[in-house]
Amino acid sequence: MKQAARKQQIDLGGKRIAVICARFYPELADMLLQGARAALRECNLPADDVSVFDVPGCFELPLAAARVISSTRFDAVVALGAVIRGQTPHFDYVAAECARGLMQVQLETGCPIGFGVLTTDTYAQAEERADPQRGNKGYAAAMAAASLLQIPA
């Protein structure tokens, strides 16, 4: 049974968030970004305090996150994208290294990174997880980053 996430009241006023979108699947990236923007609006973050950066694919997300964080202009990062299984091991390498790389950057810098990277077997599964009407993972990733900002450093 799917458990509903508990709604939190988070105020991100005065914070700056970087959203990094892997654009390999542009339609999915757009839906995930829509969800992330909705979550950040709910947290009272003005649109001017959200910067969006595009990268070609999910393999590039960790380096992009590290560069954005090193600029010291942002309080948190939301990483968005999709890796869909094909007929070769490529999926395994990209999905694992993307997740591992983002976790490494997060732990080394102490900067929260919301993980909104879909790892699915089919495009249809990815569409379902990016759909704003059915539990958008971009929304969840932005809320995760916002929640981590509530924990004192």
> Hey, what amino acid is at 16?
R
Instruction: Examine the residue annotation and report whether 90 is marked as an active-site residue of this protein.
Output: yes
CB 42 within 8 A of CB 8: no
Q: Would the CA dihedral through 48, 148, 71, 64 be positive or negative?
A: negative
Burial tier of 57 (Cβ tally within 10 Å: 0-12, 13-18, 19+): middle
End-to-end CA distance of the chain: 35
Catalytic residue among 5, 11, 56, 90: 90
**Rounded to an integer, what distance in angstroms lies between the CA atom of residue 81 and that of residue 61?**
9
Q: Which residues are catalytic?
A: 90
